[in-house]
Amino acid sequence: MIKTLSTIFTITMLATAAQASEIGTYLRDDVEPITARVENGLLYCTRVSDGFELCNGMSKQDDGSWHGEKLKNPDMPAFMKFTGTISFDESQMVLRGCTMKGKVCKSQTWPEQQ
């Protein structure tokens, strides 16, 4: 029984690792590490300190950027969600999020953690 559970756990971990690939770790406000990864074809951006999820499964676009309607800002109330786009280049992550049907937008650029 224990060997069976161990085998199932190992297979599950290998399958999860095969489906997820890390893009990199970026510094929100130049100090707060956020890990960006693709899992099952969707982008997730997770704050390292507590697991807060910012991207919530964004879809890849034809131009290589990522788009989603469930972006969250850890500094805002939990019920607030934003529509946004994230793109990456060699050394940074660029975010643009909007609320109120695109009337209020904000952009941020986070450098990759070295």
Q: What is the pLDDT along the chain (114 residues), one digit of tens a residue?
A: 554 433 343 334 434 444 789 999 999 999 999 999 999 999 999 999 999 999 999 999 999 999 999 999 999 998 999 999 999 998 999 999 999 888 899 999 999 998
- What CA–CA distance (Å, rounded) separates 47 from 33? 6
pLDDT at 34: 98
Q: Which two tokens stand for residue 66?
A: 């990522």
113: nearest Cα among 29, 4, 16, 6: 29
27: nearest Cα among 54, 47, 55, 44: 47
DSSP letter at 4? H
Q: Which two tokens stand for residue 53?
A: 């999820």
HSE of 78, CA atoms in CB hemisphere, 13 A? 2
